[in-house]
Amino acid sequence: MEPTHKLDVLGHYCPVPVSQAKKALGKLTKGSVLMVIADDPETMHDMPILVDRLGHNLIEVQRVSGEFKFIIEVCI
């Protein structure tokens, strides 16, 4: 699934990546796909929990060279 929006939170640490992702997801409409790019290892734990709590779909998590890419489909 190809992202329609991108959020770059590289260099930011907890709680910034998750709070920024929540804010971005709240502005998107159903069917949008957000790619969140982060380098805080805590996001590997926190982002799936956030996505689940908000009722969205975590399509994919990519781990490349210390960066984490979360592909999230907006479901509501």
Element (H, E) at 57: strand 57-64
Element (H, E) at 72: strand 67-73
In whole angstroms, what is the distance from residue 26 CA to residue 57 CA?
14
Which one of 12, 14, 20, 32 is the catalytic residue? 14
Active site residue 75: no
Active site members: 14
